[in-house]
């Protein structure tokens, strides 16, 4: 034991002694510091063994990041508890025969709740994880998503309304921005993050192509300068794991990576990142809309989420 202690002392103090000796050479004259000590792996093994470990443990490197072990399905509903705030009428200031045909009242789509089911439309749920997704890695991206990884989607406007009020797409996909109205529109896609922005005037019956090229961390605005009441939201992600709830509040994301910790974010235009919710009647707190899950292979995970109406006031 005494010999072991001397070995440990020499291993630790020898570089220190050399350093102090160099500092004292030549009185007060400035001296160049010695090069940094390199790690001697043999010494590390001796030290670890002296403390009861093994040489094998000393050579072990950090474990690799966890990888998915299969696929699961994430689905469910978002519903409101209580009376939602009433939808406000939108002020139509021009092109009334196109934008408000027959004098109909056009309502804001900032929060749309189905009166029969209390389901919340246009809730966005997307994989954040956080922003690091190995695109094209077969362990993380199911083969079913590869077929449309670079597909062209349609993004239309009719009667001066964006037909997809909450639109989600992948960064390598394209969006064919259509104008199905008999009047011109100006589609201003105000992307954030690495997603590209465009501000295109689209004549009646025409179209343009939007290629984001990168992802956005959060939803951003889409508007029309010609008809300023027109408003929508969009998000662009590298990953295919996102969904927007239907009018009845339901959603489904198929073939989600299982066996690894996942972080989703949940956003709704009026409530922003949803935080105080109930799942199957039990209160939960999602910090800034962050939902953390680890799904099991083959699991059909169902989330029945209820949000108090106060979250949208």
Gap between the Cα atoms of 152 and 233, Å rounded: 18
Q: Where, residue-wise, is CATH 2.60.40.420 in the chain?
A: 70-312
Gap between the Cα atoms of 125 and 168, Å rounded: 10
Q: Categorize the per-residue pLDDT at 133 as very low, low, confident or very high, splitting at 50, 70 and 90.
A: confident
- The token duo for 311 is 């979250």
Q: Is the pLDDT of residue 200 over 70?
A: yes
pLDDT of residue 131: 64
Q: Categorize the per-residue pLDDT at 127 as very low, low, confident or very high, splitting at 50, 70 and 90.
A: very high
pLDDT of residue 193: 97
- What is the pTM (predicted TM-score) of this model? 0.79
Contacts 24+ apart (CB under 8 A), 200-204: 201/226, 202/177, 202/178, 203/179, 204/179
- Please state whether 70 falls in left (phi above 0), alpha (psi between -120 and 50) or beta: left
Q: Categorize the per-residue pLDDT at 180 as very low, low, confident or very high, splitting at 50, 70 and 90.
A: very high
Q: Which of 29-43, 110-124, 279-293 has the lowest mean pLDDT?
A: 29-43
Strands of 259-311 (E only): list them.
261-268, 272-273, 276-279, 282-285, 290-294, 300-308
Task: Name the average pLDDT for the chain.
Answer: 85
> What percentage of residues in the chain have a pLDDT greater than 70?
79
Q: Is the pLDDT of residue 218 over 50?
A: yes
Q: Is the pLDDT of residue 91 over 90?
A: yes
Averaged pLDDT, 45-57: 45
Q: Is the pLDDT of residue 60 over 90?
A: no
Averaged pLDDT, 292-313: 96
Q: Is the pLDDT of residue 42 over 80?
A: no
Q: Categorize the per-residue pLDDT at 65 as very low, low, confident or very high, splitting at 50, 70 and 90.
A: low
Q: What is the pLDDT of residues 148-163, one digit of tens each?
A: 999 999 999 999 999 9
Length of the chain: 313
Averaged pLDDT, 32-38: 45
- The token duo for 48 is 């670890």
Averaged pLDDT, 123-143: 89
pLDDT of residue 64: 37
- The CA R_g of the chain, rounded to the nearest whole Å, is 29
Determine whether domain 70-312 maps to CATH 2.60.40.420. yes
Interior angle at CA 285, CA 218 and CA 256, nearest 5: 55
Q: Categorize the per-residue pLDDT at 18 as very low, low, confident or very high, splitting at 50, 70 and 90.
A: very low
Q: Which of 57-66, 140-149, 173-182, 249-258 has the lowest mean pLDDT?
A: 57-66
> What percentage of residues in the chain have a pLDDT greater than 90?
75
Residue at token pair 């964006």 = 162
Averaged pLDDT, 253-279: 97
Residue 237: its H or E element: strand 231-237
Contacts 24+ apart (CB under 8 A), 213-221: 213/171, 213/172, 214/171, 215/131, 215/171, 216/191, 216/192, 217/131, 217/192, 217/193, 218/192, 218/193, 218/267, 219/124, 219/166, 219/267, 219/269, 220/189, 220/190, 220/191, 220/192, 220/195, 221/188, 221/190
Averaged pLDDT, 87-100: 97
CA-nearest of 168, 293, 175 to 238 is 168
């Amino acid at each position: 034991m005494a010999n072991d202690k001397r070995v440990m002392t020499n291993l630790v103090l020898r570089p220190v002694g050399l350093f102090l000796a160099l500092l004292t050479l030549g009185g007060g004259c400035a001296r160049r510091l010695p090069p940094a000590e390199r790690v001697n792996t043999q010494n590390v093994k001796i030290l670890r063994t002296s403390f009861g470990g093994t040489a094998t443990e000393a050579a072990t490197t950090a474990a690799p990041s966890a990888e998915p072990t299969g696929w699961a399905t994430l689905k469910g509903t978002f519903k409101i508890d209580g009376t939602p705030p009433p939808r406000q009428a939108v002020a139509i200031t021009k092109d009334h025969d196109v934008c408000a045909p027959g004098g109909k009242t056009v309502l804001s789509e900032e929060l749309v709740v189905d009166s029969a089911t209390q389901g919340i439309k246009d809730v966005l749920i997307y994989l954040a994880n956080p922003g690091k997704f190995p695109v094209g890695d077969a362990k993380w991206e199911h083969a079913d998503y590869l077929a449309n990884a670079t597909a062209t989607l349609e993004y239309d406007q009719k009667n001066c309304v964006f037909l997809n009020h909450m639109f989600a797409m992948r960064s390598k996909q394209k969006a064919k921005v259509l104008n199905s109205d008999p009047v011109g529109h100006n589609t201003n896609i105000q992307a954030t993050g690495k997603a590209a922005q465009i501000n295109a005037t689209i004549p009646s019956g025409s179209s343009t192509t939007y290629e984001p090229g990168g992802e956005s961390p959060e939803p951003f605005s889409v508007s029309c300068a010609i008809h300023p009441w027109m408003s929508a939201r969009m998000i662009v992600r590298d990953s295919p794991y996102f969904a927007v709830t239907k009018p009845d509040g339901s959603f489904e994301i198929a073939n989600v990576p299982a066996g690894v910790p996942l972080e989703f974010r949940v956003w709704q235009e009026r409530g922003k990142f949803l935080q105080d919710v109930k799942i199957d009647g039990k209160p939960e707190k999602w910090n800034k809309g962050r939902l953390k899950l680890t799904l099991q292979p083959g699991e059909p995970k169902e989330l029945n989420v209820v949000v108090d109406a106060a979250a949208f006031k």
